Structure 1
Amino acid sequence: MELPASVTGGLGLLGNKAHFATPAAGVALTKAAVSVLLKVTTEAEAVDGEAALKGVDRATLKQAYAALVSLLLEAAKHNKTEADVKAALEDAKVSEDRAGPIAAVYAAEIVELRTVLSSTGFGFPHVVDADWRLDYYMKDNQLEKVNQPVYLIRLKTEQNGGKGPDVQFSASLEELQDLVNTLKDASRNLKPVSI
């Protein structure tokens, strides 16, 4: 598993006895990271509530925590095994007696971590349905006669497999025709060009 140097350096802190005196501190930090990733607790509650982490410098703790979260997410994303995580930790100069328990915590939570990852995304919502209504304005506050149709459109969206926010707007007939033409142009540009 390829990890950036900043992550490897942060993981290396877990193996340094000057920063993390006992293997239990690394396991406690791993459990705290997993509980935050699984949205069970907040970062402050998870890290501050651990007695094994009380004597660790805050800057060191943050750096090791960030590296550990990166490792856990990257390993879960690629469905890595406990042995792969242990090897990645040993590559970062974490001793075997410290890497084993950390990898075991990962192995126990891999299914839940992958579930959280599958429901997390950064994509735009997809339009799945549209509702529309035609209103005819005869006059308004400022003009005596308007006599113009206005279309009220609501696009229903879906995001990450669930219901997304509805998009609502109003448009005149000309604006609606312009929207349709723009969508047709975009559709034509998406079609593959045969050579």
Structure 2
Amino acid sequence: MILSEDLKKSLSLSNNINTINDQVYKNLVEICFNELCRVTDVPNISSLNISKPDVAKEIHAAFLTLIAKAARNDLRSDTLINILSNECGFSSNRAKYLSDLYEKNRIKLQIILGNIGTHLPNIVDVKWKMDFVVKSSDVRLQEGPIFSINLITETWDKESESNKRDSIDFLCTTQELQDLVYKLLEVMRHCIKIGNER
């Protein structure tokens, strides 16, 4: 697992014992795991009485990112300890505490992360056909090409615990198809930009 320099820098802020003592560190790590595991009644990080709340928020965000990345990459606790100790300068006690909590919650985290976004269908295939309207008595249809689009989608079905395929069918004109393609390209560029920032 590769950590960005900004993430390493944010994580290393938690090594300052003057700002984050051991008890505050443990509470902050527990809050992060509880938030990611969707535990109700999680205390707010403002309740930790840290002298620098902006630093606490940065560390909090860094821990959330690290834990989610570790679960997504299916890291083992010894690998996580190695990353925290060697790349982020964590003491052995702090690295072990975080990795122990991670190992305890790893499977639950992976299930929760795996279910993010599964309520929306994923497009897995597209079929299309072009027709040409020469003359029509329907006022809504204009002369010219009409595209018949068939999007094959896949969603996770919790009952059968497998992927379920559906299709979305629609007709569009050349201009509507160009608008759709443009919007999809904008979404793709935005997702790439977000991915590169992390």
**TM class by smaller structure:** 0.5 to 0.7
User: Do 1:29 and 1:47's aligned partners in 2 also have CA atoms closer than 8 Å?
Assistant: no
Quick check: 1:4 aligned with 2:14? Answer: no
TM-score computed with the length of structure 2 as normaliser: 0.59
Match of 1:189 in 2: none
What does residue 108 of structure 1 align with?
104
Report the 3-state secondary structure (helix = DSSP H, G, I; strand = E; otherwise coil) of the residue aligned with 1:24: helix
Number of residue pairs matched? 157
Q: Is the 8 A contact 2:154 2:165 kept in 1?
A: yes
User: One-letter code of the match for 1:12?
Assistant: S
The TM-score with structure 1 as length reference comes to 0.60
Q: Which has the higher contact order (CA 8 A, sep 6+)?
A: 1
List per-residue Cα deviations over 1:75-98 (Å, max 9, x = no partner): 112211111111222121111122
Q: Which string of whole-angstrom CA distances, capped at 9 and with x for unpartnered residues, describes residues 136-173 of structure 1?
A: xxx99xxxxxxxxxxxx9978433467799857578xx
Structure 1 residues 94-173: aligned runs within 5 Å? 94-121=90-117, 124-126=122-124, 157-160=153-156, 167=168, 169=170
Give unpaired runs (5+ residues) of structure 1.
128-138, 141-152, 176-195
1:68 corresponds to: 63
Cα distance in structure 1, aligned partners of 2:11 and 2:70: 14
Greater Rg over alpha carbons, structure: 1
How far apart are the structure 2 equivalents of 1:73 and 1:113?
Answer: 8
Matched residue, 2:73: 78
Deviation digits for residues 29-78 of structure 1 (CA, Å, limit 9, x no counterpart) = 2221122222334xxx6352685x22242211111112111211121122
Runs of 5+ in structure 2 lacking a partner? 126-136, 139-148, 157-161, 175-198
- Mapped to 2, the partners of 1:61 and 1:3 lie a distance apart of 20
